[in-house]
Amino acid sequence: MKILHIDSSILGNYSVSRQLSAETVARHKAAHPDATVIYRDLATDPVPYLTGAHMAALQGKPVTDTALADDLAIGDGHINDLLAADIVVIGVPMYNFSLPAQLKSWIDRVVVAGKTFRYGASGPEGLLPQGKKAFLISTRGGIYTGDSPAAVLDHQEKYLAAVLAFIGLTDVTWIRAEGLALGQDAKDATIVQAQGEIARLQG
């Protein structure tokens, strides 16, 4: 059993998504004591942004620059992490209605034609091995679910779910803590609710 744990919040010890993602991983470790955890902190060890040189190399241009070769190896490492993991836990705070830039950069490195998806006669096909499970820890300052008028602004959860499905990861469980900016009582209540969901998880 291998668990890939990814954090993307820039708030360090003040981050609710980091707190809840750690509790989620601990829950799975309790269920699978022999599991190996690979931890990636995208805020303290960010994935370099894509450049034209990256795209040229991915399309077959020979790589003669050592720095570029090393950079491409970083991307391959993140792909290998994802391919090897049985369980993926990602802390996903909402920043300005979408994802942290750090997480978007990781996505740009793991959604790669020929490695995590391919184009076939019937269109794109995800290449991630079947059986993987993802547990996505979504934190938001406001309320974006149900009949909230702000639901239309949610480009965080919908986008990430679509990206993961595109590469073949469709067994996704969301643990959500929203309304974190609506006062201390609301914050405490939504964290407790999320913690209850984590306690009931089946690995």
9 marked among binding-site residues: yes
60 marked among binding-site residues: no
Name the 3-class secondary structure at 2. strand
13 marked among binding-site residues: no
Provide the edge-to-edge strand list for the sheet that holds 36-41: 36-41, 2-7, 87-93, 133-140, 172-178
172 marked among binding-site residues: no
123 marked among binding-site residues: no
Give the C-alpha separation, 122 to 89, whole Å. 30
| 171 touches 135 (CB < 8 A) | no
122 marked among binding-site residues: no
148 marked among binding-site residues: no
Give the C-alpha separation, 162 to 182, whole Å. 28
Based on DSSP, count helices (H) and strands (E) in the chain, helices before strands.
6, 7
The residue among 2, 12, 21 whose CA lies nearest residue 139 is 21
190 marked among binding-site residues: no
Count other Cβ atoms within 10 Å, centred on residue 168: 16
Give the C-alpha separation, 198 to 26, whole Å. 10
179 marked among binding-site residues: no
Residues annotated within the binding site for FMN are 9, 15-17, 94-97, 139-142
Residues annotated within the binding site are 9, 15-17, 94-97, 139-142
